[in-house]
A = this chain, B = another copy of it.
Amino acid sequence: MSKYWSQVAKRLEPYVPGEQPRDRKYVKLNTNESPYPPSPKVLAAIKEVACERLSLYPDPTCLSLRQCIAEYHGLALEQVFVGNGSDEVLAFCFQAFFDPGNPILFPDITYSFYPVYANLYNIDYQLVELEADFSLVGEKFATTNGGVIFPNPNAPTGRYIPLDAVREIVEKNSNQVVIVDEAYIDFGGQSAVELIAYYPNLLVVQTLSKSRSLAGLRVGFAMGHEDLIAGLDRVKNSINSYTLDQVAIAGAVEAFKDEAYFNETRHKVIVTREKTANRLTALGFNVIPSQANFLFISHPVVTAGVLYQKLREQGILVRYFNKNKINNFLRVSIGSEEEMDSLIMALHNILK
């Protein structure tokens, strides 16, 4: 602690991202990246934007990208906000919609950035307990609260709740904002975007980092009633007029235009996920049903901590959260078919 830090800086407990190691080459199944490269059209667009115009500021309204997203999702331009990854968008959401002294709700097992944001902005929160199988019961979000946020599918479990259950949560919280964090929705879930027309309190957040193979480009977005988008704009324009650089805007636009590539690669991930789930079950693992690009697994004999360590020694990185209730689980990103073969073979050797 430095005497120069603010009270806020002193109380922070920052988020720790999955490691990006450099000591050796790993089979990297720890940060839910796509095993497939970005669309060739995205890469071509980035090369094209690497020109003299980079000396000029980007469009602060990111008009071209917001138009693309609006069109893709059947929304108006004013219903779309874009930012530097969905993490930044979520941070802005906490600041724009939640107040100190009015506790918000999120699941007790969920994306571990939520309590970090809450702490940063001094927002109180109550944890909503998941069932033993990690399923989320919508009724538990019907208590008095200052706002609701949950991922669908949930992280790090991969469990998904259907649109009707989402609708019920949004309806029962009509006086406060409900944020559905859909970072993983493109891997088999149904998006809540279609509810936006009916519920002015619903905000849906998505990202290009997973299903569009662009974790390295940092683009996320939020969709909702134009009043909510205006709130996000106010926060963003009080911090940084230009959160997306010219390159990110140009690449992201092409990612939306190349729908064929998007569908092809996300379906490959879904197929590999189902195959991997079956193989893990055959190895004796408890595999939580997932609609995401990862699996949450535990083994009845060998503990997750030991598996994590032994996989690492064999050059395979997965994510292990040493936290209450999930400290015997591993989160395994869905890689290529070859990467999953390596994982299964390594687990087979460890378990035999």
Q: Is the CB of B55 within 8 A of A50?
A: no
> Counting CB contacts under 8 A, is A82 at the interface?
no
Of A3, A38, A217, most buried by chain B (CB within 10 Å of CB) is: A217
> Counting CB contacts under 8 A, is A291 at the interface?
no
Give the segment of A70-78, A87-95, A158-166, A273-281 that binds chain B.
A87-95
Number of interface residues of A (CB under 8 A): 88
Counting every copy of the chain, the complex holds 2
Q: By DSSP majority rule, is chain A's interface helix, strand, loop, or mixed?
A: loop
Q: Is the CB of A231 within 8 A of B9?
A: yes
Q: Is the CB of A239 within 8 A of B55?
A: no
Q: Is the CB of B243 within 8 A of A84?
A: yes
**Given that A55-B216, A218-B58 are contacting pairs, would A5 and B87 also be in contact in the complex, using a CB cutoff of 8 Å?**
no
For A251, list chain B residues within 8 Å (CB).
50, 54
For A216, list chain B residues within 8 Å (CB).
53-58, 245-247
Residue of B nearest to A38 (CB): B54
Of residues 1 through 49 on chain A, the ones whose CB sits less than 8 Å from some CB of chain B are: 2-9, 12-18, 20, 28, 31, 33-38, 42-44, 46-47
> Counting CB contacts under 8 A, is A294 at the interface?
no
Instruction: Write the residues of chain A forming the contact surface with B, with a CB cutoff of 8 angstroms.
Output: 2-9, 12-18, 20, 28, 31, 33-38, 42-44, 46-47, 50-60, 84-85, 87-88, 91, 95-99, 116-117, 119-121, 175-177, 200-201, 209, 213-218, 227-228, 230-231, 233-248, 251
13 A-B pairs with CB atoms under 8 Å apart are A6-B96, A9-B95, A9-B234, A12-B235, A14-B234, A33-B56, A55-B215, A57-B209, A57-B216, A91-B238, A91-B240, A117-B239, A218-B245
